[in-house]
Chains A and B, each alone.
Chain A
């Protein structure tokens, strides 16, 4: 559940972002866990509450949009959190009475879109306040549209986390939008020191370096390594935890989709809150994940990007087929481990110790194995 911060919780650099002029446009950059999405939502809350004008918060991914939309509802503001792709399609249709020109199955023909928009410019400043999260994943042509229709535009981005080919660099975003006010978050606000230390142990040196913790980061309990005789024992552990900590958001992350189904079938009906599973496109029946409710969310490592949970379990480590020495394995573990705010459990089951355990920094972990 997202709530407003206490005054003391905001570090000096976050306070600076929090205090950015509400009647201005800004470009805020920062790496994973630096609090960009949270700051974007706070800004939407402040704009809506004090300006009483529509505020639009645009995001890239569907799961992340739902995660943030819930946080926005929790703050009781009417700002619209939208997936940028859907919003643009609807806006174009409403403005030009036709769908936007497409390229391929899902993409937009931006060249043609811009040509049409310049030919018949939209009414200016119709959308007073626009905030963009994960801005690096949206094309620069999209920013040209936003510049035309908004009075203030604030973009939160990290060009080291670009997912797609339609990406924009920070320089391009600044050039197209004309934003000159730049701010940067460079501290990890998500993890406790103990969890951040374990995550950093998986960093390979490729891509953005793990960021330093905020100066007043909490220590927290050490992550736990446990060995269960079989999956059913791990499931019992999960059920006990969930029923005792029934108000927590608990992420159970696995590398493969078949593991999601296996664990879900064993958990179903045993927990206090229904277990929710997220399957990415093409992997099976999809149901929206409800982040308003506490309980277990079963998600793959890849789909968990950008999300965070009070507690994360990484079960069935022995079933991970990736090369423990490989870069791919380590980066996946880095992403998975860093989803946990305050508690982290690494678990394997069965006989013997799987090779992946040798990659764990055991001096940073509470080893609960006999």
Chain B
């Protein structure tokens, strides 16, 4: 995992061997932690990983330290080990919106921090001699994060209708099965370009959708650039491809709402290009929690809301999505898919984290007291369900 692909990184052993994960079978030596960049509040930690690597992914020094090429999903982290009680307590006190320390088992294990292992000199020399893999690259990691973000946000979006769930199931299946060699914006565009998601004006909608996805994939979150700037960039991208009064009218409407010339009115499924509606909802509420609030505020077009959620995830990536929006079993499926995709980009094999078969998307319907209940599943875990109330006429 290229550390430069991370948006924030505190130096550790990985910085001496970019593109490598440094694994030991028995812990570490205290002096190894002096090889990292110093900060006043650094706390040495060791991650215990459950791993079964492929044979050609390893370089090793001695029998106890290996430098692995590849990506391991966080679901494989078994525990975080600390040298002292103080370190563990200070770690557990720090909670972030996108990381809850209580979710991972912690252990105070001073014995792991004082082992009979290669010295700093031996380790440093060996790490600097390791080859540096070209892939997965920084761009690969960021693009993969966008795809994972789109998946997680679609999984988090509240369900409003059985029809929307059915369409969402198709989109999820396409996102999950996107080939590693296909770019992420192509995967997302193709997934959302199914006729069931697009409006009646399919051709114009598909063109606009491509421009929207391509533009957002290139940019950071809209809060970084500004909604008006994003819209201007979008319009330029569209005009490079096509001259379309329909698209221009839709984007003009988006602009007038962003400029507070008119207020937003309740959306309906029938009016407007769906990609324009999804774009508008996303630009007005660009953060993960805000965009999902449209599910209750804008009930007239649930497909536009789920589309906006996917665009949000694509733009911000998986990493900042709050833990409250990431159910563990679903996040594990996405992380495994993400790791498998990145590992397929590398010439080295590092094991299969998808248990041999891709995560299955399923829809089930059952009739109960609340009417017809439609449920969406991923990998056996229920994602969302919605009940269509019984017909009051009894038919």
Contact = CB atoms under 8 A, between A and B. Distances in A.
B224 A19 contact: no
B319 interface: yes
B106 to A, nearest CB: 13
Nearest to A20: B41
Nearest to B321: A6
Given A237-B260, A244-B260, A49 B319 contact: no
B90 A21 contact: yes
B285 A6 contact: no
B95 A49 contact: yes
Interface stretch (B67-75, B96-104, B203-211): B96-104
A46 B223 contact: no
Interface string A1-43: 0011111110010011011111000000000000000000000
Contact of B284 (A46, A192, A194, A245): A245
B369 interface: no
A244 B93 contact: no
Nearest to A245: B284
Contacts of A244: 257, 260, 263-264, 284
B290 interface: yes
B41 to A, nearest CB: 4
A46 B94 contact: yes
A9 B242 CA distance: 38
B223 A19 contact: no
A229 interface: no
Contacts, number: 90
Interface stretch (B113-121, B148-156, B226-234, B306-314): B226-234
A3 B224 contact: no
Given A8-B320, A219-B229, 5 more contacts: A4-B96, A219-B225, A240-B261, A243-B263, A244-B284
A87 interface: no
A45 B96 CA distance: 11
B93 A7 contact: no
Interface of A: 3-9, 12, 15-16, 18-22, 45-46, 49-50, 192, 194, 218-222, 237, 239-241, 243-247, 342, 366, 368
Contact of A239 (B263, B320, B322): B263
B263 A221 contact: no
B92 interface: yes
Contacts of B297: 246
A220 B263 contact: no
Given A6-B96, A240-B260, A192 B226 contact: yes
Contacts of B244: none
25 contacts: A3-B289, A6-B96, A6-B97, A7-B8, A7-B96, A7-B99, A8-B7, A8-B8, A16-B39, A16-B41, A46-B93, A49-B95, A50-B92, A50-B93, A219-B224, A219-B225, A222-B226, A239-B263, A240-B262, A244-B257, A244-B263, A244-B264, A247-B285, A247-B290, A247-B293
B284 to A, nearest CB: 6
Contacts of B40: 16
Contacts of A9: 320
B89 interface: yes
Contacts of B264: 243-244
A46 B320 contact: no
A6 B262 contact: no
Nearest to B286: A342
Contacts of A8: 7-8, 98, 319-320
